[in-house]
Amino acid sequence: MKRIDKIQNFGRALSAMVMPNIGAFIAWGLITAIFMPTGWWPNATIDHLREPLLNYLLPLLIGYTGGYNVAGKRGGVIGAISTAGVVVGGNVPMFVGAMIMGPLSAWIIKKFDEKVEGHIRPGFEMLVDNFSLGIIGMILAIIGFLTLGNTVTWLSMWVGEGIKWLMMKHLLPLVSVIIEPAKVMFLNNAVNHGILTPLGVAQAEEFGKSIIFMLESNPGPGFGMLMAYWVFGKGIEKSSAPGAVLIQFIGGIHEIYYPYVFSRPRIIIAPICGSSACILFLLYVKAGLIGVISPGSIISVILMSPRGETLLLVSGVLIAAIVSFLISAPIIKNSSAVEKMAENKFTPKYKQKHDSSVKKSCAEIHHIIFACDAGMGSSALAASSFQKRLKQITDSVSVKHASVSSVPQEADVVVCLSALVGRAEHSAPWAEIIPLENFLQDPALDELLSRFSKNERELFSVENIYINQKADDKFSAIRMVGEALVKGGYVNRKYIDAMIERENVSSVYMGQGVALPHGTEEAKLEIISSGIVVFGFPQGVDFEGEKAYILLGVAGKGDDHMKILEHLGETLEDEEKLSRLLHATTKEDIYEILK
């Protein structure tokens, strides 16, 4: 597990240098696709932009971003300086050189700053900062120019020749065996933007197009598998598949289908074969894309297709989808019930852990963060969808999206897929983590939304409050509470026995003079509708040496049980309200406190 975490951390570091600059890659790709000699509208004058953007702008942006990620703006500046040396010293686009020099030079300046901190005379800080940055940046730029530039040039040529060899031997489809499993391990952005995009850009510059852009971003394999879930799936996997299909194929957010793979791990063979089939077809027809496609949408594929090859590339996507569908279908149809997404055997440990943890009340939640690997795909979509639902209840809670590795300090609740729970816990140990199986339709989202619901007030009225009561012992008091629930039409009489049984198993005394009598789990069938009753005992009721002055009888039908307890918990945690409740003398006072 530690080794996988290290690989993911390395992959995220690569991705984090490229992802913020994808817009620049797309700008270069569009200029290439439109204005190059074989483009849609050839223009020799505008085409002069192509090489400077590729050879200078893109590597410098990557170097700056890599440095910024390590040491802020100061790191970004020195990252750009050192990258410039590598750019001038090489003969190919220096993406790899930028990924090395950017973070490395930022780490060096960061260590220098730590060493001199506290040793600079007042008034000389700016002078030292500027000259240290300039001198160290100069040295690193020269080193990059003399050494790394030629090394990266040689390495790039070697990798390029390797890709050519695979293509000549028709072995390129085999890379799908590595890429597709890596994607569902949430290394998709690292693989695509950290490794394949620079290689594809270099190849497109040489040949005018590159098949490498389709290796990871092809929407066909996931589309075919999701269609199979739509046709042959059951329960939540079937009902959620149509929305996932739209988001994945049109929106290009591939993370949406990863939970479907987790639910049946062997189904990964379907996207592997689908991707391989597409690559084989594109090799045969000698088709490729002009620029990077991000997100991996069918729309992006069409926009980045060379003139005259759009139909070929769309056909490749459809071939991938068909193959993936045909392989997925029998796997889904023959799966047993225990493999259903709702019962995913790979995630219960997370669910159990977080179900037992203390959930935050709606009063404690001000910022909800939806997190995915990059923070720019499925999490953005899910956050937008949940915010619309939440706004119907309250406007006081912000819902944002972020990378699971960079959860902001303001987060009160972090929502992520189950496979990312470990990383979310490490990134935001202070927050409540809510694991999901599906960003679209997951019961956990409904439960989170229910915390902000105001329906609890409808379960409670002044008629449900009984003050100045007396009881011989705790069991007599619990029976009185149960009788009130029966009288109110909330439960059948058998529920009273279940309340007594619950007390025998584990005391319902909560502390601070309050007890919450309720039935056992098995007694839920005896609940007619959800309700709350309140009993006040001025002389107290003995609960094994502790005195309870307020008994709150609870009957929750379905998911209402947790909602009621959460609502009551908010009140009881408020010391002022609790004191008022214990000293209230009228039903109206109690109602105002608990409503």
Residues identified as active-site:
372, 518
Joined together, the tokens standing for residue 170 give 């028709």
SS3 434: strand
Query: Closest Cα partner for 450 from 558, 570, 362, 352?
Result: 362
Quick one: angle between helices 220-232 and 269-285, nearest 10? 140
Phi and psi dihedrals of 287, rounded to 5? -110, 155
- 294 within 8 A of 22, measured Cβ to Cβ: yes
Q: How many whole angstroms separate alpha carbon 123 and alpha carbon 339?
A: 67
> What does DSSP say about strands 509-511 and 514-515: parallel, antiparallel, or unpaired?
antiparallel
Query: Closest Cα partner for 303 from 18, 19, 34?
Result: 34
Q: How many whole angstroms separate alpha carbon 123 and alpha carbon 150?
A: 42
Give 555's Cβ-side CA count (13 Å radius): 34
Containing 546, the helix (H) or strand (E) segment is strand 546-555
Q: How many whole angstroms separate alpha carbon 292 and alpha carbon 40?
A: 17
Q: How many whole angstroms separate alpha carbon 9 and alpha carbon 30?
A: 31
Torsional class of 500: left (φ above 0), alpha (ψ -120 to 50), beta (otherwise)? alpha
Q: How many whole angstroms separate alpha carbon 166 and alpha carbon 229?
A: 33
- CA end-to-end distance (rounded Å), the chain: 48
- Amino acid residing at 521: E
Number of helices and strands in the chain (H, E):
27, 9
Containing 65, the helix (H) or strand (E) segment is helix 58-89
Query: Closest Cα partner for 523 from 501, 553, 551?
Result: 501
Query: Closest Cα partner for 594 from 516, 478, 528?
Result: 516
Residue with the two structure tokens 């601070």: 512
Q: What is the DSSP letter of 124?
A: -
- 397 within 8 A of 367, measured Cβ to Cβ: yes
SS3 462: helix
Containing 551, the helix (H) or strand (E) segment is strand 546-555
- 368 within 8 A of 386, measured Cβ to Cβ: yes
Q: What is the DSSP letter of 402?
A: E
Q: What is the CA radius of gyration of the chain?
A: 31
- 438 within 8 A of 420, measured Cβ to Cβ: no
Query: How far is C-alpha 514 from the geometric centre of its chain's CA atoms?
Result: 40
SS3 367: strand
